[in-house]
Structure 1
């Protein structure tokens, strides 16, 4: 999806969610929910035509201060505000090839056995994993190299989907995190290719993608069905490799008691 479409859809969604009463505006006899464009513009101290052009995705001059004011009017969370700024101003870092995984990172991932751990890129491509991850999370060797991606597998691989507890919630959370990574990503083509591929292969993906949710995936809980058809619960942590930006180590720790599942790496 083009970046101007992301801006348009994001603003339209959040404008519709704001209750006019919060700003002392009568909401009676309105045909659509939320704030009108002119109301957002007035509250954010920008011109109506400028805000309209912004929401339409036109190429206009934009200041960070104006984006912050609009975000405040729309009651965006800090994560949503960062995402909004990223999709407006675009990628600031040059496109580059994915670097090799440092040898030390591979050694660390292997050493984490018997705990599952793997390495992935910011676009959720899976690059490396230890034996515990292959045995308890997923065997990525069983799918084509082009499909070794957490977001893709969530929608196109029946075996992977079946093993995920509370699949719809996990899928939505994964999409929301992917959007956040995409906004700040170093190479937009790496993300666009995944979105385009999934858009032709999964109606479920298209439906959830159009909800325009955004969140972070630094840590959380995950439920997964093991090879013995027993639901296992984990906490996961995502750590970016300091000297290799865009590369993350994902570590899973088993939990004894059942915990609610909020996401899926």
Structure 2
């Protein structure tokens, strides 16, 4: 694992900057942030083709662990899955969901193969996780699909969620992802989780 200084050095050597996800977040229009808040208590986030989490509402921020405590460059779906035990424990269908995510990253990288920030993330993941390296070496590609996933939340229990991708443009890239309850029990638990986040912020 790299500390923040080693990460900064790695990005510098690659001709990139570790603050790129933060800059992309700052470029999001206020209307996008308003939309995220309006979707409460449904978890929702904005991710780019690199799977960086650029913005999210309070429920998504506590869907697994507290995203607010993590550095911007670590708010990446792949990085969280392969390096954060809490995220791994929360993904019930790991053997299906995570290889799909790796395949999506490989597919997305085809259009960005020469870009340093993509190569930097790939190197970080390969250095940090033998399991990621094994999945990457399968050379599988896949585009994001609307699916159902199970998340084991540490506060409210099992959540069965239908997630939907809404793209900001015609090309596969930055998108709004919403998570809607697949059953009444999940709907009630999402409301409970939203209430917990409000109380925690008070």
- What TM-score comes out, normalization by structure 2 length? 0.72
Conserved in 2, the CA contact under 8 Å of 1:116 and 1:137? no
Q: 1:233 to 1:132 in 2, by over 3 A?
A: same
Q: Over aligned residue pairs, what C-alpha RMSD do you find?
A: 2.5
Gaps of 5+ in 1: 1-96, 259-265
- 1:24 corresponds to which residue? none
Conserved in 2, the CA contact under 8 Å of 1:117 and 1:249? yes
- 1:218 corresponds to which residue? 145
- Within 5 Å, give how 1:182-221 maps onto structure 2: 182-185=109-112, 188-221=115-148
- 2:97 corresponds to which residue? 170
- What TM-score comes out, normalization by structure 1 length? 0.56
Distance 1:121 1:182 in 2: 12
- 1:133 corresponds to which residue? 60
Instruction: Tell me the CA shift for residue 148 of structure 1.
Output: 0.6
Distance 1:105 1:138 in 2: 23
Conserved in 1, the CA contact under 8 Å of 2:65 and 2:86? no
Larger RCO (CA under 8 A, 6+ residues apart): 2
Q: 1:112 to 1:222 in 2, by over 3 A?
A: same
Q: 1:229 to 1:203 in 2, by over 3 A?
A: farther
Give the 3-state SS of the residue equivalent to 2:62 in structure 1. helix
Q: 1:187 to 1:245 in 2, by over 3 A?
A: farther
Identify the match of residue 181 of structure 1 among 95, 108, 124: 108
- 1:233 corresponds to which residue? 160
Distance 2:70 2:101 in 1: 19
Distance 1:244 1:175 in 2: 19
Does 2:183 align with 1:256? yes
Q: 1:185 to 1:248 in 2, by over 3 A?
A: farther
- 2:30 corresponds to which residue? 103
Instruction: Tell me the CA shift for residue 222 of structure 1.
Output: 1.2
Instruction: Tell me the CA shift for residue 172 of structure 1.
Output: 0.3
Higher Cα radius of gyration:
1
Q: 1:244 to 1:176 in 2, by over 3 A?
A: closer
Q: 1:109 to 1:187 in 2, by over 3 A?
A: farther
Distance 2:64 2:33 in 1: 18
Conserved in 2, the CA contact under 8 Å of 1:115 and 1:132? yes
Conserved in 2, the CA contact under 8 Å of 1:239 and 1:249? yes
Give the 3-state SS of the residue equivalent to 2:73 in structure 1. helix
